[in-house]
Structure 1
Amino acid sequence: MPKIVRSEIKLDGIDWEYYTAGAGKSLLLIPAFHSDINRFKPLVEYLSQNFRVILPHLPGISNNQTLGDYDYTAKNYARFLNLFVEKMHLQNYLLAGFCLGGVIIVRMLEQGVKQPERVLIFEGIYDADLFRLQPMYRFIKKAILKLGPKNKLLNSIVDLVLHDERALKLYLKFAYSKEKNLDLVIKHQTEITKIMATRAYIEVIFDIFQTHLAKENLHFSVPTSLIYNKYDNLIDIEPTISGMQRLFPNSEVLQVDLTQHSPAGAIDIKFVHEMIKPLEDKLMQLKD
């Protein structure tokens, strides 16, 4: 298995860390919200057998690094990642992203990133109005949109939950009460949640809840693969796919037999195989 190597790069004065593995054509992989190299390791290892995989950590989300004075939004992450593509001299590369990573890719293309050979979007968000939210999360969405990301009370509550392990585990126990292997789920979720910065956590969620690509006149000609579950517990699949096809008219849709937007516990190789299965032939064509 190719070794995963950590590196750092300075982008417009801001420190970013990123991880690489494998050799061959470059595949820039933008992680999801709530994700870091540890969560994505099985996917990186799998893809690195045929590609040079590059996984940047999103400051404040994948670690506790900061974006300086910049707000934590998809547009600002895209701005820095476009600089990353430039500075890394990526040519004939593949650009992939999961969930929030899909929105970041849209913003990268909107801002004029060096065109990739192909875009791969897994479970990409299209419009916040298409989320399937449980009552508790509908309330949280309403509260965050009403209070705004700079609200002191909101920041204090989130800071307590993120950085007091007892409070975090209590919240996770409630949020994932229906999961099997609850102890393992809580352990994993605690590890990937407590690394996040309070300000980034709030601002990114606020930005996600304000994402309405349906209201934007955007179209990208780049060849694209859209990979979605046949049923998703977080997003309304049919209108999301329809909307993403309008954004990417030169796209193909591949659906997988999964029902969870992402595993509550650790991502394992079984999940990776299920997610990648419909894309395997295309990846073999693209690796050369």
Structure 2
Amino acid sequence: MERKSISIDSKIISYYTAGDGKALVLLHGFGADSTIWEEQISYLSKDYQVIAPDLPGISNSELISDVSMEGLASMVKTIIEEEEIENIVLIGHSMGGYATLAFAEKYPELLQAFGLFHSTATADNEEKIAGRRKGIEFTRKHGAKAFLESTAPKMFGAATKQEQPQLYESFIKNLPEMSNESVINYYEAMMQRPDRTEVLKNTKVPVLFIYGEQDEIIDVHKTIGQASLPSTASVHILKKSGHLGMIEEPQESNKILEAFLSDLNIY
């Protein structure tokens, strides 16, 4: 596994890359960084080129001026141009899923398939927007670190907290580095993102949906209906996962991703 970087707006964007073959790009969500994909990078890089960036303003990547979902999509395009890749499979976790949908809307010709991992195509509702505004005020008052510490417990399912307390505790101790500005800019970007269910309806490529049965952030029962929108979809529910199935149930997540990638040769 190698760490590389690109420059956007004279800012450094850092990413992991490993393996050769069909390109798979993994986008983490808010409150996490590229390290959440370590199990997937290790497992899938046997057969694929796996790329996992730290999103701008998070951990090893510097904050850029545009962290809208469209701006993040443009960042992905810059990375694949740097790597001289013709097309990719793009999997986005949570906020990374919002950016994945923006990429699918802007650059459909560059996608062989894409996936939403604990994510949704709908825009924030009024309740969600109100919660994000409270988060912004909390960050301004108490700082980014305190805010991330307050939100991290919601990322895990009850089963993980009970059966794998060391995993939960390790995540809490190693939260990604973010400035107040980064937290606020991302929350504002997520509030402003549009509904992209039409992207799911109109896409011509296969779409993977992975949900967590115990996810408190993206409720599987409220969002699983979106899986009926694409013409070709693969749907999976991780029974013991909250919002971080890739580390809560890594082996199952690996198998799901591997099967989806393998099946692309059939479609």
Q: TM-score, normalised by structure 2?
A: 0.79
Q: Note if contact 1:30-1:55 (Cα within 8 Å) is conserved in structure 2.
A: yes
**Offset at residue 77 of structure 1 (A):** 1.2
The answer to whether 1:185 aligns with 2:165 is no
From 162, 169, 178, the counterpart of 1:196: 178
Name 1:135's counterpart in structure 2. Answer: none
The answer to whether 1:223 aligns with 2:205 is yes
Q: What letter matches 1:17 in structure 2? A: S
Determine the C-alpha separation between the residues in 1 that align with 2:228 and 2:38.
29
The answer to whether 1:261 aligns with 2:256 is no
Deviations 1:76-117 (A, max 9, x none): 211222222333321143222222211101111222354221
Q: What letter matches 2:81 in structure 1? A: E
Q: Note if contact 2:215-2:243 (Cα within 8 Å) is conserved in structure 1.
A: no
**Offset at residue 124 of structure 1 (A):** 2.0
Q: What letter matches 1:157 in structure 2? A: H
Deviations 1:180-213 (A, max 9, x none): 36565234223124x1222112222343345452
| Count of aligned pairs | 260
Name 2:250's counterpart in structure 1. Answer: 272
Larger deviation, residues 225-234 vs 4-13:
225-234
**Offset at residue 128 of structure 1 (A):** 5.3
Determine the C-alpha separation between the residues in 1 that align with 2:14 and 2:265.
25
Q: Note if contact 1:29-1:54 (Cα within 8 Å) is conserved in structure 2.
A: yes
Q: Note if contact 2:18-2:51 (Cα within 8 Å) is conserved in structure 1.
A: yes
CA distance 1:27–1:63, shift in 2 (3 Å):
same
Structure 2 alignment gaps of length 5 or more? none
Name 2:140's counterpart in structure 1. Answer: 155
Determine the C-alpha separation between the residues in 2 that align with 1:253 and 1:48.
22
Q: Percent identity?
A: 21
Q: What letter matches 2:8 in structure 1? A: L
The answer to whether 1:73 aligns with 2:56 is no
Q: TM-score, normalised by structure 1?
A: 0.74
Q: Note if contact 1:254-1:278 (Cα within 8 Å) is conserved in structure 2.
A: no
Name 2:52's counterpart in structure 1. Answer: 55
Structure 1 alignment gaps of length 5 or more? 132-137
The answer to whether 1:237 aligns with 2:234 is no
CA distance 1:261–1:210, shift in 2 (3 Å):
farther
Determine the C-alpha separation between the residues in 2 that align with 1:87 and 1:226.
26
